[in-house]
Amino acid sequence: MSTAEKATTSKSLTARLQVEDKSVDLPVVVGTENEKAIDISDLRKRTGYITLDEGFVNTGSTTSAITFLNGEQGILRYRGYPIEQLCEYCDFVETSYLLIYGKLPNRHELERFRESIRHHTMIHEDMRAFYNGFPRDAHPMAILSSVVGALSTFYQDSLDPHDKEQREISIHRLLAKLPTIAAYSYKKSIGQPLMYPRNELSYCENFLHMMFAVPTQDYEPNPVLVEALNLLLICHADHEQNCSTSTVRIVGSSNANLFASISAGICALWGPLHGGANEACVRMLQQIVADGGNVKKYVDKAKDKKDNFRLMGFGHRVYKNYDPRALIIKKACDKVLSQLNLNDPLFEVAQQLEQVALQDEYFIERKLYPNVDFYSGIIYRAMGLPTNMFTVMFAIGRLPGWIAHWVEMHESPTTRIGRPRQIYVGPTKRDVIPIDQRD
């Protein structure tokens, strides 16, 4: 069922807007969780006005049946299922199926899905040569977006977003290949041979194998890390209309192919205000530790309006309460460190920072809490991942969410190309003075 069919226009509610001497009644749309929106799609036609909302703080770009989140209450559900339950009972591949196909798979469906993804894990041999063209110190997010974009040059027979079969094969290929593409970027950066995937391993085991195995000796993925990786990927798997997902949707709305749309999403995720925050957060914690662990000094810096320093991994556009993902990840962090018998000073400092910030008037007033990126990096460090791979991990996790939104958009009969309007504030009409007459 398309999302458009699920949105209800209220029979009892309308919004009345008075503009100059005109009064217009605007329809109210109500979602399944009773969220309400004023439908302004024909406002300009009726009044000559548009709405202005920089950063889309208050603008719904679509209806969607994928993820529900309530930032005031700290609720996150994929397709109706609470994130806490998905982390407890499902693995990442199962969660991906749920997001993309809208239902939890039965055993048979899940096995077929896993099988198909296993089947596509290798990348074309010619693609391996790409890795020699990047500088050794290239950021892996740059490699990830380039190589994902380049998939469209290898699979030209399946790029039509309106063809269901072509869409399906592209989705399976991308889910299967993204970990391979990511792990190769790491192997290249440290000068080790690229490790082929091993299809008898699970999704997360296989990723750890491609990252950390070498051809000269056996490698056994640690089950503690496999479990933690599944959990982190599930926590990242979708978050409704965030910056990168909106990017995927807007690029996809021009009918660009899946690989091009996801490549754009990866670029959007890279920024430190979005997925890049996990990398930035660990660098910040390292700096605090190196600086003697003076947590208060950094909280004060974050509050100082003359200083552009922000507490990374803190604050969220939608959550005005503890991010439920941060709660899950903090617990997992504690568990992983104690199971591996590791004592990471960054975890200590992170907990102190959280404590100080949460008791500080500045953070209380603005409802700033730890977000998903605050503790995730500490688990990635325990896995042995280098800091510049953290955002890549976020991308692997977010992939099924991006795909689900891209598919939902293409299945909705109401989708139109994404094309916001603007209020022009530049010079009014003026005439060109030929170059020889200009001052």
| Distance in Å, CB of 310 to ligand CMC, minimum | 4
* Cα–Cα distance measured from residue 25 to residue 43, given in angstroms and rounded to the nearest whole number: 10
* Cα–Cα distance measured from residue 378 to residue 371, given in angstroms and rounded to the nearest whole number: 14
| Known catalytic membership, residue 316 | yes
Q: Which of 236, 344, 373, 405 is catalytic?
A: 373
Contact 373, 281 (CB under 8 A): yes
Nearer to ligand CMC, 100 or 277 (CB): 277
Q: Which residue is nearest to ligand CMC (CB)?
A: 315
Show Cβ contacts of residue 341 under 8 Å, excluding neighbours closer than 6 positions.
Answer: none
| Distance in Å, CB of 189 to ligand CMC, minimum | 23
Residue with tokens 């190769």: 184
Residue with tokens 């890279």: 270
| Distance in Å, CB of 390 to ligand CMC, minimum | 11
Nearer to ligand CMC, 46 or 320 (CB): 320
| Distance in Å, CB of 241 to ligand CMC, minimum | 11
Paired strand residues for 30:
8, 36
Nearer to ligand CMC, 315 or 400 (CB): 315
Q: Which of 209, 274, 316, 410 is catalytic?
A: 316
| Distance in Å, CB of 238 to ligand CMC, minimum | 12
Show Cβ contacts of residue 363 under 8 Å, excluding neighbours closer than 6 positions.
Answer: 299, 314, 357, 369
Contact 195, 187 (CB under 8 A): yes
Nearer to ligand CMC, 192 or 286 (CB): 286
Nearer to ligand CMC, 19 or 364 (CB): 364
Helix axes 390-411, 258-270, angle to 10 degrees: 140
| Distance in Å, CB of 70 to ligand CMC, minimum | 16
| Known catalytic membership, residue 439 | no
Nearer to ligand CMC, 144 or 210 (CB): 144
Integer CA distances (angstroms), 158 to 3, 170, 214, 248, 337, in order:
25, 7, 34, 18, 44
Give the footprint of ligand CMC on this chain (CB under 6 A).
242, 273-275, 277, 302, 310-317, 366, 368, 371-373
| Distance in Å, CB of 124 to ligand CMC, minimum | 31
Q: In 10 A of CB 199, how many CB atoms?
A: 14
Q: What angle do CA 374, 375, 377 make, to 5 degrees?
A: 95
Contact 7, 60 (CB under 8 A): no
Nearer to ligand CMC, 95 or 371 (CB): 371
| Distance in Å, CB of 32 to ligand CMC, minimum | 24
Show Cβ contacts of residue 182 under 8 Å, excluding neighbours closer than 6 positions.
Answer: 140, 144, 207, 389, 392, 393, 395, 396
Nearer to ligand CMC, 69 or 127 (CB): 69
Provide the annotated active-site residues.
316, 373
